[in-house]
Amino acid sequence: MEGKLSSRWRKSSYSGNGGSDCVEAGNDARRVLVRDTKDHGQGPVLRFSPDAWRRFADRVKRLLAGLRPSAKGHPRV
């Protein structure tokens, strides 16, 4: 295992279902860590380099921005 896992996990601001359907993010010395909240810290942890995490997050943000309804109530494409 690389470094010590973060004890400071943060829930996603996009949490659904009162926060039970979400992911948590943390970090160690060299990686961004992501896990499923429902696993209560017992499940797998994904590890990303900071650059890979930024690219992933930027793509998700762009995708979500394209799905927001337009003024007429239709998703933008």
Contact assessment for residue 34 and residue 24, using Cβ atoms and an 8 Å cutoff:
yes
CA nearest 37: which of 13, 56, 18, 19? 19
pLDDT digits (tens, 9 = 90+) for 21-66: 688 889 888 999 999 888 877 889 999 999 999 999 899 889 988 8
The dihedrals phi and psi of 60, each to the nearest 5 degrees, come to -65, -45
What is the distance between the alpha carbons of residues 57 and 25, in angstroms, rounded to a whole number?
A: 12
Enter the pTM of the model: 0.64
